[in-house]
């Protein structure tokens, strides 16, 4: 009997380990992401994409002010031009690019960012509905420039901030006279405008999804410059 129980627990442990997300092998699931990720285990094979022409891999230190002190963080980034290997998922949405920010000890995950350049209108609609169902009310902010227009939809939940960023969907969502206050409540009016815009875009929509701790969200709200995926936060 003891042998049977031992085999059962060994089997259970093996099954659990086999389901753990691993960089480049098992997608990081963002639906219920709670920041309890073993960074060392996740990135244990960082060489998996190195030397491949359709991937850009980097890890660097970044510094931001937090509570009147300059604080160092570690930023990981994998930018991909290939849909063959999925690095993260939220529901049915696949992301081929993945970013992460950890504390300076490389122990605590503070932010995860997932991106794709290949989303269809139907996929973005489905993702937006899932986020609304999971997190409720949201706020909307936009940024327009000569080169880029961004729509950012922000959800606040217990212990996390979720932000969906859509790049250059080709329609002015917020009229100039409506800019204040910023951000705006993401109600039916703006939801209809966003949905209409992505339907006109049809496909090739660039999507970034951020899952962030409240602490690091506070840091980014006060930051004056950004690198990598953080430029779309």
Q: Is 83 contained in some domain?
A: yes
User: What's the confidence (pLDDT) of residue 176?
Assistant: 64
230 is written with which tokens? Answer: 């953080």
Number of domains forming the structure of the chain: 1
Q: Which residues contact 15 (CB under 8 A, 6 or more apart)?
A: none
User: What's the confidence (pLDDT) of residue 5?
Assistant: 36
Residue 163: which H helix or E strand, with range?
A: strand 160-167
User: What's the confidence (pLDDT) of residue 4?
Assistant: 37
Q: Is 1 contained in some domain?
A: no
Rg over alpha carbons for the chain, rounded to the nearest Å, is 19
Tell me, rounded to whole angstroms, the distance of Cα 184 from its chain centroid. 21
User: What's the confidence (pLDDT) of residue 213?
Assistant: 98
User: What's the confidence (pLDDT) of residue 20?
Assistant: 72
Distance CA 20, CA 28 (A): 9
Tell me, rounded to whole angstroms, the distance of Cα 62 from its chain centroid. 18
User: What's the confidence (pLDDT) of residue 1?
Assistant: 44
pLDDT per 10-residue tile (average), the chain, 233 residues? 39 45 87 92 76 78 90 92 87 95 95 96 96 96 71 95 90 67 86 92 92 96 89 90
User: What's the confidence (pLDDT) of residue 220?
Assistant: 95
Whether 197 contacts 169, CB under 8 Å: yes
Distance CA 190, CA 186 (A): 6
Whether 165 contacts 233, CB under 8 Å: yes
104 is written with which tokens? Answer: 């300076």
Q: Is 24 contained in some domain?
A: no
Q: Is 189 contained in some domain?
A: yes
Q: Is 139 contained in some domain?
A: yes
224 is written with which tokens? Answer: 């004056």
- The dihedral over CA atoms of 224, 229, 231, 233, expressed in degrees to the nearest 10, equals -90
Helix (H, G, I), strand (E, B) or coil at 95: strand
Distance CA 117, CA 167 (A): 9
- Please give the residue range of the domain that contains residue 59: 38-228
Whether 174 contacts 203, CB under 8 Å: no
User: What's the confidence (pLDDT) of residue 154?
Assistant: 97
The total number of residues written for the chain in this structure: 233
User: What's the confidence (pLDDT) of residue 225?
Assistant: 86
DSSP 39-68: HHHHTTTGGGSTT-TTEEEEEEEEEEEETT
């Amino acid at each position: 009997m003891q042998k049977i129980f031992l085999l059962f627990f060994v089997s259970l442990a093996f099954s659990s380990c086999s389901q753990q997300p691993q960089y480049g092998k098992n997608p990081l699931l963002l639906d219920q992401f709670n920041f309890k990720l073993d960074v060392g285990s996740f990135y244990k094979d960082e060489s998996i994409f190195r030397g491949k022409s359709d991937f850009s891999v980097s890890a660097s230190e970044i510094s931001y002010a937090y509570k009147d002190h300059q604080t160092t963080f570690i930023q990981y980034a994998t930018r991909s031009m290939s849909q063959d290997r999925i690095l993260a998922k939220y529901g049915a949405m696949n992301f081929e690019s993945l970013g992460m920010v950890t504390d300076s000890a490389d122990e605590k995950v503070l932010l995860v960012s997932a991106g794709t350049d290949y989303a269809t209108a139907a996929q973005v609609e489905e993702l937006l509905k899932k986020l609304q169902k999971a997190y409720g009310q949201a706020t909307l902010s936009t940024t327009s420039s000569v080169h880029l227009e961004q729509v950012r939809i922000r959800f606040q939940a217990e212990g996390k901030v979720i932000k969906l960023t859509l790049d250059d969907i080709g329609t002015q969502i917020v009229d100039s006279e409506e800019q204040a206050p910023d951000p705006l409540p993401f109600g039916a009016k703006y939801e209809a405008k966003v949905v209409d815009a992505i339907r006109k875009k049809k496909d090739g929509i660039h999507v970034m999804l951020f899952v962030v701790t409240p602490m690091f969200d506070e840091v980014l709200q006060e930051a004056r410059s950004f690198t990598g995926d953080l430029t779309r936060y």
